[in-house]
Amino acid sequence: MSSANVEIVRRQIDAFNRGDPDAIAADWHPEGTWEPASVAPVEGRPYVGPEGLRQFLADYAETWDEFRLNYASFADLGERVLALGSIEVRHRGSDLPICRPHAMLYEFSDGKIVRLRSFLDHGEAQAAAG
């Protein structure tokens, strides 16, 4: 089951990069929670369920003109997957791109994502993953 979870995470990252909320929502439990670590307006605010995911993308697009997740490392932790990589963004009204470390810790139940926590520090993410 867990290798299937890694494939779901890869699919999620591809859908995020395309800005496809329907594809993102397809793998989520109806009460699944996304806890982003990004800067305002989404920092510290959890998003719940498919509508919450759509709201996250809308909120994110208010701040960033461009965004892309680049991930190469996926740790299969059974019912959890730790993804390590980077995020590239460009703030609205700026020509300066930003690239920084980014990590996500996905938690699964019955093949659906029930919780996602993102981090701007790989060490924090690894500590959270245990």
Q: What is the pLDDT of residue 81?
A: 97
pLDDT in tens, 41-74: 445 568 888 888 888 878 777 776 778 899 989 9
pLDDT in tens, 63-122: 767 788 999 899 999 999 999 999 887 777 777 888 889 999 999 999 999 999 999 999
The whole-model pTM stands at: 0.87
For the beta carbon of residue 122, count every other beta carbon within 10 angstroms.
Answer: 16
E runs forming strands in 25-79: 28-35, 47-48, 64-76
Q: For residue 68, which of 31, 114, 112, 100 has the smallest C-alpha distance?
A: 100
